[in-house]
Amino acid sequence: MKIAVLGSGAMGSVFGGLLAEHSQDVVLIDTWKEHIDAINKNGLHLEGIGGDRFINVKGVSSADEIKDHVDLVIVFVKSPFTESAVKGASHIIGENTMIMTLQNGLGNAEKIAEITGSSRIIVGITNNGATLIEPGHVRHAGSGETVISPFDGEVSHRINEIAQILTEAGLPTKVSDEVVGLVWDKLMVNVGINALTAVLKVPNGYLVEHGSSEKLLEYAVREAEKICKAKGIQLKHDPVQHCKDVARATAANYSSMYQDVAKKRITEIDYINGAVVNEGRKLGIPTPVNEVFVLLIKALEEGY
């Protein structure tokens, strides 16, 4: 299958690298030229799960370097860049191209649909974790299930085929026709952990080791839970308990929002706590704690 990974940082490199290693025709697209140059010179240096090795995979720093339509585009830019990235790659998206987003937060599939139409979009979540070490060098830090679903419409043989290809590449993937609950389950974890760790400048575990931060986590997640209830979304876990469990299980990790703030990069706040605030406004549910989290992160971003 001809696959383009749009945004080949930590997660894009893991997915693209593993797919290339398992005989798929992959091209990594990333505007970070140093990273792409290192991949083209030495191969993609992947370590962690699966071992330390160099994978032979092609990279380009602009989608303009690709002339033909591909079968699948996997979108792995951070959420604020979804729209510009997909617009910049629209010439490789033909009428038979599937577009898959496993990004965190809410609203990415909707943004993509405005550009490509909704019928070929696959939406999902992944419990894999990855970290960028240096240009061309990524750690596959955690493995877990990926669940994908059609964004609009029914499960097709093409989605099943994509799940099979991912699974064969070492990324176990399930197809579901009801991914909304899973997306919100994952969102809850990000709502409770990301902004707080970024503002407090602490690793995930700190939040559950200290009473005040634990309360803040709880308040933010309970607000989001009210929105789920109002929307009739079934969560798989008690969201507060789940969020705390994840904070404990990843105690030494620094969240992606912490890392974005540390590197003075625009964060995914609008798609995580900001999405909760927006949904709350539409439903008339107050979300004051999430609103404060959004403003604190924006205040940090404005100081870059």
Taking residues 76 to 95 in sequence order and writing x for each that binds ligand NAD by CB under 6 A, - otherwise, the string is: xxxx-x--xx--x-------
- Binding to ligand NAD in span 254-283, by CB under 6 A: 256, 268
Taking residues 9 to 48 in sequence order and writing x for each that binds ligand NAD by CB under 6 A, - otherwise, the string is: xxxx----------------xxxx----------------
Length of the chain: 304
Neighbours of 206 (CB within 10 A): 16
Q: Name the strand (E) or helix (H) holding 46.
A: strand 44-48
The smaller minimum CB distance to ligand NAD, of residues 194 and 290, is found at 194
Q: Contact 300/199 with Cβ under 8 angstroms?
A: yes
Helix, strand and coil in the chain, % to nearest 5: 50, 20, 30
**Residue 20 Cβ, how far from ligand NAD at the closest point, in Å?**
16
Torsion of CA 261, 259, 280, 113, to 10 degrees: 110
The order of strands in the sheet holding 98-101 is 58-60, 25-29, 2-6, 72-75, 98-101, 121-126, 146-150, 173-175
Taking residues 193 to 232 in sequence order and writing x for each that binds ligand NAD by CB under 6 A, - otherwise, the string is: ----------------------------------------
6 binds ligand NAD (CB under 6 A): yes
The smaller minimum CB distance to ligand NAD, of residues 10 and 214, is found at 10
User: 4 by DSSP, 3-state: which?
Assistant: strand
124 binds ligand NAD (CB under 6 A): no
Residues carrying an active site annotation: 186
130 binds ligand NAD (CB under 6 A): yes
Q: What is the binding site for ligand NAD (CB under 6 A)?
A: 6-7, 9-12, 29-32, 76-79, 81, 84-85, 88, 103-104, 126, 129-130, 132, 256, 268
